[in-house]
Amino acid sequence: MDLLIIFLILGLLAILNHSFSDWLRTRFSRYNCLVFTAFGNKQFSNMVSKLDRQGIPYRSRFHNTGSDYFNDSTQYDIYVKKQDERKAQQAIHTEFKG
């Protein structure tokens, strides 16, 4: 019983530590404005290509959510600088005609 409690506490600490380190990286980065969360490599590639076409620098962070070869459900968070937020939102939500 004591061993089970220790494992549960260690698991909870690992989850909290991961969340805290993500928060720290976002809080103290110049790229701290989340503009889009993509699921899967195809959606991620589509969104960042829109930002690239507009010359908007970005940073991304991914969280593997248990994807396999046929079902890519990796979560990608895309961040930009605060001063680029409006331009990034416009780029992401505009259809490319080219």
Query: Could you read off the pLDDT of 53-95 as tens digits, one per residue?
Result: 999 999 998 877 665 666 677 889 999 999 999 999 999 988 7
Residue 46: other Cβ atoms inside 10 A: 13
User: Tokens in use for 64?
Assistant: 């593997």
**What span, in angstroms and rounded, lies between the C-alpha atoms of 54 and 58?**
11
Give residue for tokens 């976002």.
26
Residues linked to residue 61 through DSSP beta bridges, in sequence order: 77
**What span, in angstroms and rounded, lies between the C-alpha atoms of 13 and 86?**
37
Whether this prediction's pTM lies above 0.75 is answered by: no
